[in-house]
Copies of this chain bind each other. A is one copy, B any other.
């Protein structure tokens, strides 16, 4: 059953004026003010410059993070944050301005404050760990504007690894609906940080990541924005996307993002480069409106993960913890998937096409495809798909993705056309029934593809029929695509309207027991906790770019610190033949060594993992391919062994319900020696490790396909030191010796 809406809000009592979030199967411990002995309270009301000032401080469970909340002169709410006695966020404003023109960020006074504490484990449907601890202290501030009577609540949660806070708009007689003009929320860092950033853009997250000091963003951003992408809508201000990864000169790591983006526009961050202050830049629609709000709702959480150990950024569960528990009660049909697909051949330059014919003048529902001459290059034909099904069955893959199965691809670049595709009509050479039977006989699933070319209302019109078609024909997962500018033409990919659309698709899919892997959608914010059928997203620069403008060798050392903070990515690794000139005129070269591609199955967490290369290439390297066959896609535990954004990542994970471990380690363009401390293995037992590492002369740009595979016995008290080539990586599979 799907429960609708933002969150299960329960309006506890009119006199208390606050919401409580009830997590299913969990208990909430409300500790009232007078019982909270461990908080350092400094609540005081005084007269200073003739203005009421109210301030309040509370701490994370381990006491290392301290948040101070004040009402400043003019009645504006501010907060500041300290970590281990360092200032992390200087006094920073909170609130909104709303339309037509009114302040919702000043003239406030504190009406009441509630405190709470929470500590409970929960079990995700899938994830890097089989259990997640959710432990925080909470402060809920109830504000009221005297002049208007408008109320605004701000809920802060301090975890040991960071802060989350959100706005709550209580039901109130004086304010029922408003339009956001601007969100005032500021993260006043007060000093320059090294930043891993992409330009703020309302239509895409597919830029290459830039690494620079915050103070250098302004001189780099124009160049960064030149990247050619199918849809772009740059923010007018000097701004960057979230998740934004920051590192201070003295070794503090901060990740700024948001959690539970529901019925709200996505936030990017406008940079004040003089003060090193970041402030919320909500995605507008084309009329300049930044969200339509009915009171009785909440904003997404604004999040900061903070640590002096980069590995703790990667192991943080803060974002997912700030999302609501699953709204899908029976999740038995949701399963991690390892898959291959009729896909990379469209990018290689080898001539395979999504389109069945060369006639671009087609019209869905009118054109009779059986009368069109086939172009002879159509990838998704029955015979070819059967080859993929055979290969999947032989090598233990769960599924085969097939792109280009449906009518419409001939005219798929007509971005202003609304009815581009049918989602129920296959091309004449794609035999739906025959393939259904064939796949079933081989115990392989076919993954449906719904490219919308961002004609979103047309997709919604076909959505139920499309999902019904899937279930009638044995499909239970769909890859959706949103290439190009959005129709409705008032909207951007990351605006409130589209945020609601993605959720609508995921909720509708859940009714059909369909898993969703959305490409080119807004970047994730941990909503997979609430909708675990949202099994992966793209929403960043994936492997496909290796076939045109390329990825940089440090790209996948940054993504875990940025894009993956919100949720799993369908990065589609596994490219063995990185020299695309073998297929024709495409001169693109992969940015990694071959074994770095193997490592990505571990370093890029996702319950949906593709082996993206052509079958013929896997057949050429059966020994290396063995790792892809073996590697798990669901896990009991994960161990971040080494991590530095932009430089390297080494991660070990234990396969779910199996005594098997997998290690992945990657580096940027610089070679290094990775240190794999095997203490994650059970003590005293013996294991066999199969190591897939770069050859001695390997490097991403000169010798990417040089690798060595070796086996050795290992124990938990050992440490492996493994050389990693420039742009290289290695993978290890570990099994218990019997």
| Residues in chain A within 8 A of chain B (CB atoms) | 4-5, 171, 176-177, 179, 285-287, 289, 292, 294-296, 360-361, 363, 365-366, 411, 414, 416-418, 457, 460-461, 464, 488-491, 497, 500, 504
Q: Tell me whether B4 and A366 are in contact (CB under 8 A).
A: yes
Say whether A361 contacts B171, CB under 8 Å: yes
Q: Known: A488-B457, A489-B490, A490-B489. Contact between A416 and B292, CB under 8 A?
A: yes
Cα-based distance from A735 to B497 in the complex (angstroms): 60
Q: Are A416 and B179 in contact (CB under 8 A)?
A: yes
19 contacts between A and B (CB under 8 A): A4-B366, A5-B365, A171-B361, A177-B416, A179-B416, A285-B489, A286-B286, A289-B489, A292-B417, A294-B361, A294-B414, A295-B361, A296-B363, A418-B497, A457-B457, A457-B488, A460-B460, A488-B491, A489-B490
Residues of chain B within 8 A of A414, CB atoms compared: 176-177, 294
Q: Is the pair A294, B417 in contact by a Cβ cutoff of 8 Å? A: yes
- The answer to whether B490 and A286 have CB atoms under 8 Å apart is yes
Q: Are B457 and A5 in contact (CB under 8 A)?
A: no
Contact of A490 among B292, B360, B416, B488 (CB under 8 A): B488
Q: Report chain B residues within 8 Å CB of A417.
A: 177, 292, 294
- CB of B363 within 8 A of CB of A418, answer no
Q: Which residues of B contact A504 (CB under 8 A)?
A: 461
- In this complex, what residue of B is CB-closest to A465? B464
- Give, as a whole number of angstroms, the nearest-CB distance from A738 to chain B: 55
Given known pairs A488-B457, A488-B489, the reply for A360 and B176 (CB within 8 Å) is yes
CA distance A417 to B179 in the complex (A): 10
- Distance between Cα atoms of A179 and B418 in the complex (Å): 13
Instruction: Give the 9 A-B CB pairs with smallest separation, nearest first.
Output: A488-B488, A490-B490, A489-B490, A292-B416, A4-B365, A171-B361, A177-B414, A488-B490, A5-B366
In the complex, how many angstroms separate the beta carbon of A463 from the nearest chain B beta carbon?
Answer: 9
Q: Which residues of B contact A176 (CB under 8 A)?
A: 360-361, 411, 414
Given A414-B176, A417-B292, A287 and B5 contact (CB-CB distance below 8 Å): no
Query: Is the CB–CB distance between B366 and A489 below 8 Å?
Result: no
CB distance from A656 to the nearest CB of B (A): 35
A418–B464 alpha-carbon span in the complex (Å): 20
The chain B residue with its CB closest to the CB of A5 is: B366
Bound CA–CA A416/B411 (angstroms): 34
Min CB–CB distance A641 → chain B (angstroms): 45
List residues of chain B with CB within 8 A of the CB of A491: 488-490
Chain B residues whose CB sits within 8 angstroms of the CB of A179 once the complex forms:
416
- Are A363 and B294 touching (Cβ within 8 A)? yes
Partner of A287, one of B292, B360, B461, B489: B489
- Cβ of A366: which chain B residues have Cβ within 8 Å of it? 4-5
Bound form: Cα–Cα A365–B461 in Å: 21
Task: Determine whether the beta carbon of A418 is less than 8 Å from that of B488.
Answer: no
A654 to B110, CA, bound (A): 75
**Cβ of A489: which chain B residues have Cβ within 8 Å of it?**
285-287, 289, 488, 490-491, 497
Of listed A296, A411, A488, residue having the most chain B CB within 10 A: A488
Q: Give bound CA distance, A363 to B286, whole Å.
A: 26
Chain B residues with CB below 8 A from A418, complex form: 292, 497, 500
Residues of chain B within 8 A (CB-CB) of A464 are: 464
**Docked CA distance A629–B338 (Å):** 71
Q: Which chain B positions have C-beta within 8 A of A490?
A: 286, 488-491
Note all chain B residues with C-beta closer than 8 A to A460: 457, 460-461
In the docked arrangement, what's the CA distance between A365 and B504, Å?
14
Residue from A287, A489, A504 whose CB has the most chain B CB atoms within 10 Å:
A489
A18 to chain B, nearest CB (A): 16
With both chains docked as a complex, state the minimum distance between the C-beta of A408 and any C-beta of chain B, in angstroms: 12
